[in-house]
Amino acid sequence: MICRMEHFSPDSLRIDAYTYTLPDSMIARFPLLNRAASKLLIYDRGDINQTTFHNIAEYTGSDDLMIFNNTRVIPARILMSKDTGAKIEIFLLEPLSPAEYNLAFSSSSGCRWKCMTGNKKRWKSDKLSRNLVIDGKSTTLSVRIVNDNDLWQEIEFMWDPEHLPFSLVLDKAGLPPIPPYLDRMPVKSDKVNYQTVFSRIEGSVAAPTAGLHFTTGILEELKKKGTILEEITLHVGAGTFRPVKSITAGGHPMHAEHFSVSLEAIEKLRIKQGKITAVGTTSVRSLESIYWLGVKQILNKNIKHPFLLNQWEHLQLPQDIQVREALDAIAGRLAQEGVNKLEAKTEMMIIPGYKFRITNRMITNFHQPGSTLLLLIAAFIGQDWQKVYNYALKNNFRFLSYGDSSLLIPGISKR
């Protein structure tokens, strides 16, 4: 018999049960000069202690699989000025035409993006232009609103001369999209600090911040120990900062994010069940979404592109399909199509009551009160999330994107 529906309801899960008081003084406005010097809270099946992040390799096994999100943050904030002096801020969300990230960044004849616009009421239908100097030559960037959907706008970007790729134009025109809760403008150092050392694939408008603590030295230490390092890509969207304004989880519209996973990585996930550490909530969201896409493939072998997992779709799917069976199904589909990478989109929202299928351990920072990320943490370690956050607050851990880190190992207490 197929078992459907997890035993929890988004409409009955109140957000006010997952909040805490975060003093403004504990929000890290800037990172430490030495990434690895951050504090590391260890939650191990109920027990809590602390060390520094440069010791992370001591807490991994020689045969473990560690998953990193290799997305690279783009300079998504573009400031423009009207002739009147009014400032307009354009925040890039995702490409529309071309819709593929790599094609949009390599475009040399204009492109259109889904954007959010600051001070939009001062910008109607007129074209705005800005002069840039790229490789010592004068370049003009022009923007105009093509469609206005209130919550977001479709904006066309044009530049002269046209032979330049948009990635180069954006690098000159844009600013690092540091989180709004840092309450400051980007500075030059953010261009480096707000990237992980393993970032490669451009597309995010927010960093996978759990990865900011890693250095090349730590990665080499992990490899020497025998820990297997594998990369996936999830382009983090601005929705990760969207506050939950609804009373219950069911009233919050979860944002969609693009992710991709290689066939080789899926095979490693299949083999390393029980030994998988996800670096960051973005990696967790990708890993759990892969499982459910495999379940969808088992139910409907003609599942169509683009692969999409809707916000609460996993609640209606069979709950008893084995992980290897689901991974085999999605890997088989990729092999059948002759492609070596899963390209998909997920709206999945993970809340308390969820049973994790692939993720065994998690490295993550400390998240905002009442946020979707805190709900994910509470789903992972249960009510002990309060114990973890109280410890962090009492022991002066630094919070949010540029703050300290934690290693979460769920399960029954060792005592």
pLDDT digits (tens, 9 = 90+) for 312-369: 999 999 999 999 999 999 999 999 999 999 999 999 999 999 999 999 999 999 999 9
pLDDT in tens, 131-159: 999 988 899 999 999 999 878 999 999 99
State the pairing for strand pair 39-44/47-52: antiparallel
Domains of the chain with CATH codes: 10-72+193-409 (3.40.1780.10), 76-175 (no CATH)
Query: What is the phi/psi pair of residue 125, to 5°?
Result: -115, 0
Q: Looking at residue 120, what is its pLDDT?
A: 85
Joined tokens for residue 75: 């300079």
Q: Report whether 97 contacts 111 (CB < 8 A).
A: yes
Helix (H, G, I), strand (E, B) or coil at 312: coil
pLDDT band at 1 (very low <50, low <70, confident <90, very high): very low
Rg, Å, the chain Cα set:
22
**pTM (2 decimals)?**
0.93
Inform me whether the pLDDT recorded for 11 exceeds 60: yes
18-67 pLDDT, tens digit per residue, is 999 999 999 999 999 999 999 999 999 999 999 999 999 999 989 999 99
Q: Is the pLDDT of residue 283 over 90?
A: yes
Concatenating the DSSP letter of every residue in 319-386 gives S---HHHHHHHHHHHHHHHT-SEEEEEE-----TTPPPSS--EEEEE---TT-HHHHHHHHHHTTHHH
Backbone phi, psi, residue 248, to 5°: -120, 165
Site of tokens 């309801």? 9
